[in-house]
Chain A
């Protein structure tokens, strides 16, 4: 596959990601994860994240170019996440990418982080094409998006309170499983019975929305009561059961959107899609219904520079104008608006 060579930079939250794409071909993708730095605080600390990005960005950019086996002169464009995300974190990547683009005299494309997640399956699959319904679930966002065409999006629904990843983090903390919660609960669930406790699958009357705060409250209430009357199940059973509740809600709501729109293509992305049970059950349900499901590898589901570059590849191919040098980050950027 060929196409423009694009350097992609992602710094919206707690991962610094830089990648080089040639068309939709990933020549290199490197990451500096800050997970250990934030784990000691039990969550992402914005100032800690921004400090780590400014340390990591220059060596990572260098590493991505070296690994791609290209000379910097071969870069056709620079793509950087412009929002949504933590303002201090976004600023580091956008300032770096913009200055790099300018000093190399190349166009700059500021990219919506969520559109990056929407695009990530394109880096792994040929058949992932609109119209499609895409589930985006991470520590910061949970949305169901109707992709009518590339660049034409309608948000059908999403969380009305906590993001799915946030629910995993809070519940893992409550259960003494540490941070980040998603991988911890995934791991703990391995030996658990997902039907041990029947946690509620909330918001039955709102087809595309979820409330993870509601689920969290019911889990906490249940656990407190079970502990008091001595009926507390094992921790793996509780982990597997609450994971099952989150997984069911995400899948059910996505298929509600699939039915309503009549699409035959489903995509998914965001860190929560690294969850093994979610991937497995999602695939079973898609197979049962005969719908195409496109979930890329966990490395492409979590934040990375390749997904950001991939949106720019599409923009360049479509002849879109690059960003003017006067633009700044937009922490509250919203897909489809």
Chain B
């Protein structure tokens, strides 16, 4: 299945095309603000090199987060429009899964980390399986102290991967059963493997079912004292 994978959930965005799990082209961008300038030109570059046309794509895989929102929405809008135009199916994939799949571990429980900005991270436990990983709990957005408490309460050994570099150094002090490792960011190339597996398990979907995983309510600052004012007329 000719697949386009779009990854914009973190500071490093990437695009990959492949035939099943076989990579046919890839492009990476490390400027976290330039998603919209990067994506389509990167897709164009990959397709042109492979000698493919947009309508050759049968499956569009997209990272739906968690991750910073503007990046997520750039990737999702790009993926949805592409899939709608060429009639491709879609594979929504979690950023945490993409990172966890690449973590090199034998038996340790894997904790991928995504920087959610404002001092918070998204985390989720995965357990290693032969040839892959499986979620071992729900994803959540936590403060560094909370994440430390979670790791302290772990009975076995843990491997923290992803963008743990954004956490304060104090997070790691006194944690003896925790190791830190790679990868730091999710990659579109890895998404080809995951989408291929989803396709083989009949787990593909259509553009209308793709939603960003925000995991936080929008920040809204309301000056309630003025907003709730009844006005100065008795009937206000």
What residues of chain A lie closer than 8 Å to B173, measured between beta carbons? none
Q: Indicate if B74 sits at the interface (CB-CB under 8 A).
A: yes
Most-contacted residue by chain A among B211, B214, B218, B219 (CB, 10 A): B218
Check A99 against B77 for contact (C-beta < 8 Å): yes
- Selected from A47, A95, A326, A327, the residue in CB contact (under 8 A) with B77 is A95
Specify which chain B residues have a CB less than 8 angstroms from the CB of A61 in the assembled complex: 81, 84
What is the distance, in angstroms, from B122's C-beta to the closest C-beta of chain A? 17
B202 CB–A CB distance under 8 Å: no
Interface centre among A99, A177, A227 (most CB of B within 10 A): A99
A125 adjacent to chain B (CB < 8 Å): no
Residues of B near A325 (CB, < 8 A) are 40-41, 44
- Is A127 located at the chain interface by the 8 A CB criterion? no
Is the Cβ of A58 less than 8 Å from the Cβ of B69?
no
Q: How far is the CB of B131 from chain A (nearest CB, A)?
A: 33
Interface positions of B (Cβ within 8 A of A) = 34-41, 43-44, 53-55, 69-70, 73-82, 84-86, 207-208, 211-212, 214, 218-220, 222-223, 226-227, 229-233, 235-236
Pairwise interchain contact A41-B220, C-beta atoms closer than 8 A:
yes
Show the binding face of A for B, using Cβ within 8 Å. 41-42, 45, 47-48, 50-51, 53-55, 57-59, 61-62, 72, 87-88, 91-100, 102-105, 173-177, 223, 227, 232, 234-235, 324-329
Whether the Cβ atoms of A50 and B84 lie closer than 8 Å is no
* Pair A47/B219 contact, Cβ less than 8 Å: yes
Q: Which residues of B contact A232 (CB under 8 A)?
A: 232-233
Q: Is the CB of A96 within 8 A of B34?
A: no
Query: Does B81 lie within 8 Å of A328, measured CB to CB?
Result: no
Contacting residues, chain B, for A97 (C-beta < 8 A): 81
Q: Taking A88-B70, A327-B37 as contacts, is the C-beta distance between A51 and B214 under 8 angstroms?
A: yes
Cα distance A88–B75 when bound, in Å? 13
Q: Which residue of A lies closest to B54 (CB)?
A: A103
B34 pairs with A103, CB closer than 8 A: no
User: In the complex, which of the residues A54, A57, A59 contacts B212, with contact meaning CB atoms closer than 8 Å?
Assistant: A54
Contact partner, B36, options A94, A103, A175, A324, Cβ 8 Å: A94
Alpha-carbon separation in the docked complex, A175 to B227 (Å): 10
How far apart sit A41 and B203, CA to CA, in the bound complex (Å)? 38
Residues B35 and A176 in contact, CB atoms below 8 Å apart = no
User: Is B36 touching A329 in the complex (CB atoms < 8 A)?
Assistant: yes
Interchain residue pairs A-B with the least CB separation, the first 7? A176-B231, A176-B236, A47-B218, A99-B81, A103-B85, A328-B37, A95-B77
**In the bound complex, CA of A174 to CA of B230 (Å):** 8
Contacts of B232 in A (CB 8 A): 175-176, 223, 227, 232
- Bound-state CA distance A64–B2 (Å) is 29
Listed A/B pairs (20) with beta-carbon separation below 8 Å: A42-B223, A48-B220, A50-B73, A54-B76, A54-B77, A61-B84, A88-B73, A95-B73, A95-B81, A96-B77, A98-B39, A99-B39, A99-B79, A100-B81, A105-B53, A173-B227, A174-B231, A176-B233, A324-B41, A328-B37
Interfacial chain A residues near B36, Cβ < 8 Å: 91, 94-95, 98, 327-329
Q: What is the bound-complex CA distance between A23 and B219, given in angstroms?
A: 42
CB-based contact B236/A175 at 8 Å: yes
Q: What is the bound-complex CA distance between A98 and B222, given in angstroms?
A: 34
User: Min CB distance, A190 to chain B, in Å?
Assistant: 15
Query: 6 more A-B contacts (CB under 8 A) besides A42-B223, A103-B81?
Result: A42-B227, A95-B36, A102-B43, A103-B82, A175-B232, A326-B37
Partner among B37, B40, B208 whose Cβ is within 8 Å of the Cβ of A99: B40
Collect the chain A residues with CB atoms within 8 Å of residue B70's CB: 50, 87-88, 91
Name the distance in Å between B80's Cβ and chain A's nearest Cβ. Answer: 5
Question: Is B233 a contact partner of A235 (Cβ separation < 8 A)?
Answer: yes
Is B208's CB under 8 angstroms from A58's CB?
yes
Instruction: Check if B78 sits within 8 Å of A51, measured CB to CB.
Output: no
A176 → B minimal CB distance (Å): 2
Closest to A224 in B: B232
Beta-carbon nearest neighbor of B231 in chain A: A176
Minimum CB–CB distance from B31 to chain A (whole Å) comes to 10
